[in-house]
Amino acid sequence: MFNPRHLHIALASDNNYIEFVAIVIVSLFATNKKFEQITIHLLANDISVDNINKIKQHIPENGELIIYSINDISNRLKVKVSNTIAISAYARLFLSSFIPKDIDKILYVDCDVVFNNDITKLWKKNIAAYSIGGVLDTLPDYKAKELIGLKNNDAYVNSGVLLINLDYWRNNNIEQQFIDFLLYHNGEIHHHDQGIINAVCKNRLILKPKYNLTSTYLSHPYWLLEKTNTPFYTQDVVKDAIVKPAIIHFTEGFYNRPWISNSKHPMANVFRKYRNMTLWKNKPYRPDNRSIAVKTLSFFFLNTPYPCYNFISKIITILHKVIK
């Protein structure tokens, strides 16, 4: 039974991302004081006992941490998948099995998000008729849609923040549909689990971008985002999200991520504020390991007119082909 005062959050991680789990949790409790109780459902892929104990130290009195082992995630998938992302990311596909049956809705978030404002209105949204609620992703072209069988004007959401109707998933056997789609494509899906979710969960509620403000919303001009994304938000809706985001999602892009030492991300200070409230506050920031080509493209995109960036991008693409 849904309780608007009891928030259920799901995350998936292994030891490599455990510090980010702590940051998510600290930011969540700091910005959401209206909830009587917040339960964190952590899908743990071989996380050490020491790290679990560290995470528990970040849970306040009105919080609860429940651990679910996903050490068998490879077997659940039934097919080998690409190792270009952590396999833990696929765990969200099985939430309707992991989470107790009396919980009918849950908010799934990636470990690279930070809560920046109250999400009471998001949690109260009625998604009874929908499989998921999600924010439109910012795609560079229509390839991601075409490769999973969607039309160019179909909605396509970012899976880093999902309001999930667990009852709908259970009643419509969505989990099996995920596996069937994965097997049909022999484990090779564009955008991995995100592609699967968009292909299967077509009846989705589109949420405002303030609930999943990815880095591209900040780095790219509105006209460019609107050009390559249909449907898309109005400029005022995007502006409002940038001014007052509820959830910031530090995705890959031209802005380096805030755990990198030289990050120029305009909201890196929010991430670092909450990082300083965790047991990992003294851990050194990570080095910038991007290739010279990526660093060059980032510089020109962020610091020069778009035609200049576009020219440099074409030159680098030609050089890359010649070298290969």
The phi, psi pair for 12, rounded to 5°, reads -130, 135
Write out pLDDT tens, residues 29-64. 999 999 999 999 999 999 999 999 999 999 999 999
190 and 266 Cβ atoms separated by less than 8 Å: no
Q: Hey, what are 221's tokens?
A: 């001009």
CB burial of residue 214 (10 Å; 0-12, 13-18, 19+): buried
DSSP, res 213: E
125-144: b (≥16 Cβ within 10 Å) or e = eebeebbbbbbbbbbeebeb
| Domains of the chain: residue spans and CATH | 6-286 (3.90.550.10), 290-324 (no CATH)
pLDDT of 303 over the 70 cut: yes
pLDDT of 131 over the 70 cut: yes
Q: Which of 58, 49, 65 is nearest to 20 (CA)?
A: 58
Quote the pLDDT of residue 84. 63
Quote the pLDDT of residue 219. 96
| pTM, two decimal places | 0.95
DSSP 3-state of 234:
coil
Write out pLDDT tens, residues 222-269. 999 999 999 999 999 999 999 999 999 999 999 999 999 989 999 999
Quote the pLDDT of residue 218. 97
pLDDT of 83 over the 80 cut: no
pLDDT of 187 over the 90 cut: no
Quote the pLDDT of residue 317. 84
pLDDT of 85 over the 80 cut: no
285 and 257 Cβ atoms separated by less than 8 Å: no
Quote the pLDDT of residue 321. 76
Average pLDDT over residues 1-26: 95
* Local confidence band at 165 (pLDDT 50, 70, 90 cut-offs): very high
* Local confidence band at 324 (pLDDT 50, 70, 90 cut-offs): low
Give percent above pLDDT 70 in the chain. 99
pLDDT of 320 over the 80 cut: no
For residues 312 and 212, the model is more confident at 212
171-191: b (≥16 Cβ within 10 Å) or e = ebebbebbbebbeebeeebbb
